[in-house]
Amino acid sequence: MKKKTSEVAKRYAIALLELAQEQNALQQVVDETKAIEPYLPLISDVLVSPIFSDENKNELLNVLMGQLKVGSTVGNCLRLILKNRRFALMPQILKNFYAMVDDVSGVSRGTLLSARTLDPDTITEFEAALSARIGKKVFLTPSVEESLRAGYVVEVSGTVIDASLKTRLKSLRDSLSRGV
């Protein structure tokens, strides 16, 4: 069942991406979906509940879209998802959509774990170095992991670069225990 729902979410994401590209409104669609995303947990229970009528659900969605000034592309997509009773898939749809937008925009996102908080200039240097290495614009989300002790671990585009003291000490310990 999970595979089926993830495929359905992917199809909706592809449709939204293609529609946004056809209308030369990709950034507008991204901005509008980012604006509506924080409200999804608040309205999803109502929009997926069989207790509320379709009319009430549409009214709630229309009020939210009106308040956020959501355009017709995103609005029509949300209405279709609601009509097809797929609103519970919205988090997956948006996750797929944002990943596809990054892909067509030549962007990769990743994480940067370090033993201490890094200043913005250091993060920018990491992003620039990785961008040059993989040929895409890289955006990193920094996070502190004190157990690393020193160094960093970067994960981007499925590649992990582990230059942490924790891993180096483990490798040294393993080498010594093998007698190498």
User: How high is the pLDDT of residue 172?
Assistant: 86
Two structure tokens written together for 36: 């509506």
Parts of the chain with a pLDDT under 70: 1-3, 180
Q: Within 10 Å of residue 157's Cβ, how many Cβ atoms?
A: 12
| DSSP symbol at 157 | T
2-103: CATH architecture:
Orthogonal Bundle (1.10)
SS (H, E, C) 79-138: HHHHHCCCHHHHHHHHHHHHHHHHHHHCEEEEEEEECCCCCHHHHHHHHHHHHHHHCCEE
User: How high is the pLDDT of residue 16?
Assistant: 97
Residues 6+ apart with CB under 8 A from 85: 48
Alpha-carbon distance 88 to 40, whole Å?
9
Please tell me the pTM assigned to this model. Answer: 0.78
Listed in order, the ranges of the chain carrying CATH 1.10.520.20 are 2-103
Residues 6+ apart with CB under 8 A from 169: 149
One-letter amino acid at 129 equals A
Two structure tokens written together for 131: 């961008």
Question: Which of 153, 147, 149, 98 minimizes the C-alpha distance to 130?
Answer: 153
Quick: pLDDT tens for 74-89: 999 999 999 999 999 9
